[in-house]
Amino acid sequence: MEKIAFNDLNAQYRHLKKEIDKGIADVISGCHFISGEQTVQLEKELCDYTGRKYCVSTSNGTDSLLMPLMAKGIGTGDAVFVPAFTFFATAEVVSLLGATPVFCDVEEDTFNMNPKSLLKQIEKVKNEGKLIPKAAIAVDLFGQPADFIEIEKICKENGLMLMEDAAQGFGGKIGSRMACSFGDVSATSFFPAKALGCYGDGGAVFTDDEEMYKLLLSIRVHGKGAFKYENVRIGLNARLDTLQAAILLPKLHEFDKETQHRNWAAGLYASLLKDKFEIPFIKDGYFSSFGYYTLKAESEEQRSKIMDTLKAAGVPSMIYYPMPLHLQKVYKPLGYQEGDFPVSEKLSKTVFSLPMHGYITEDVINYIGKTMQNI
């Protein structure tokens, strides 16, 4: 068996080598390394792909989450509702601005924010009267969009800005609506491990709101005003460099084919594993880009046994995520305790992810399936 990669970026590069190499060479020969024409083209094509009116490319996914909160003026005394089961950055950006992340539990089958838990936490914050509810960030974990049908309704009824964290969801859909088109604003990441990833850090913010768009443009470049050296607000240095844009363009052009392949791979995994493991659940009318293929073990002990067996067979696996956010040491002062969000806590002890990418072969999946069937 060939060496198995968790996410085979080399295979993708070999497939797109001619286009990627040309893109890089064009940027170097043109010497326009920041805000070059490739960056402008990428933003236009990302708008076309997602159906959003405006796109602002950024330096990374974390800044993509941070900038809309800055544009909204969120800070000390404000509550921002986030899922307890996700990557740390979703809550971190809230804390960076002095606001308070208020955690919500997730759905056990989709891993995404539970609308009922969101509503419960909003009501709790309002009743306590210590914080002002300002925004919610719903994450599209592992490739499937969150339940924006319900979450958008809840946020609208409670006057909250809704941000879609599509760092893992790019390419997903609800009906005909693409990921990155939900909420007032949406953010994604182009970190190399993502389904659409560059060769470094990168990200993007999407919105249909012209005022938000103008604020994001200003914040992205040190709070720039009418010209380069006029600064009208505190901002960041959060631009996507032109080389990364040139790398992303051919990957975006190939993205739908790769997404189809990942869905084929997910189907093959499911056929091999469904009788022994709890396979990913996709809601009716939803489409996952399968940025990750994540299963659930029966217990933490069984997960360790499975992952040890896979490792011995040369199969890489990962845990996303081994600790829910409300139990992270940094958030101990917020007073959360074990048992507050039982689904998030259970998932952190049972989930594990298998190799998944746009070039994974049938032989590799069959080998992994056979290995797992023998556990």
Q: What is the pLDDT of residues 258-290, one digit of tens each?
A: 999 999 999 999 999 999 999 999 999 999 999
| pLDDT of 220 | 98
Q: Is the pLDDT of residue 46 over 90?
A: yes
Question: Is 310 within the bounds of a domain?
Answer: yes
Q: Kindly provide the residue ranges of all beta strands, DSSP E only, lying in the chain, ordered along the sequence.
A: 54-58, 78-83, 100-104, 132-139, 161-165, 173-174, 177-178, 185-189, 203-207, 286-287, 293-296, 351-354
Question: Is 313 within the bounds of a domain?
Answer: yes
Give the CATH number of the domain where residue 327 resides. Answer: 3.90.1150.10
Q: Is the pLDDT of residue 375 over 90?
A: no
Domain closes at, from 193, 219, 249: 249
The backbone region for 176, taken as left when phi is positive above 0, alpha when psi lies in -120 to 50, beta otherwise, is alpha
Confidence of residue 374 (pLDDT cuts 50, 70, 90): confident
If asked whether residues 292 and 347 sit together in one domain, one would say yes
If asked whether residues 240 and 259 sit together in one domain, one would say no
Interval 209-226 mean pLDDT = 98
| pLDDT of 2 | 78
Domain closes at, from 199, 224, 249: 249
Give the CATH number of the domain where residue 213 resides. Answer: 3.40.640.10
If asked whether residues 231 and 344 sit together in one domain, one would say no
Question: Is 200 within the bounds of a domain?
Answer: yes
If asked whether residues 93 and 52 sit together in one domain, one would say yes
The backbone region for 175, taken as left when phi is positive above 0, alpha when psi lies in -120 to 50, beta otherwise, is left
Provide the CB-side half-sphere exposure for 208 (13 A, CA).
10
Q: What is the pLDDT of residues 169-178, one digit of tens each?
A: 999 999 999 9
Domain closes at, from 197, 223, 249: 249
DSSP assignment of 87-153, as one string? Answer: -THHHHHHHHTT-EEEEE-B-TTT-SB-HHHHHHHHHHHHHH-SSEEEEEEEE-GGGPPP-HHHHHH
If asked whether residues 239 and 207 sit together in one domain, one would say yes
If asked whether residues 126 and 55 sit together in one domain, one would say yes
Domain of residue 119 covers 9-104+112-249
Question: Is 328 within the bounds of a domain?
Answer: yes
**Residue 338: what are its φ and ψ, rounded to 5°?**
-60, 135
* Residue 350 near residue 38, CB atoms below 8 Å: no
Per the structure, the count of domains in the chain is 2
Relative orientation angle of helices 61-72 and 210-220, to the nearest 10 degrees: 120
- The model's pTM is 0.97
Distant-in-sequence, close-in-space partners of 347: CB < 8 Å, separation ≥ 6: 85, 106, 108, 111, 296, 324
Relative orientation angle of helices 362-373 and 242-273, to the nearest 10 degrees: 50
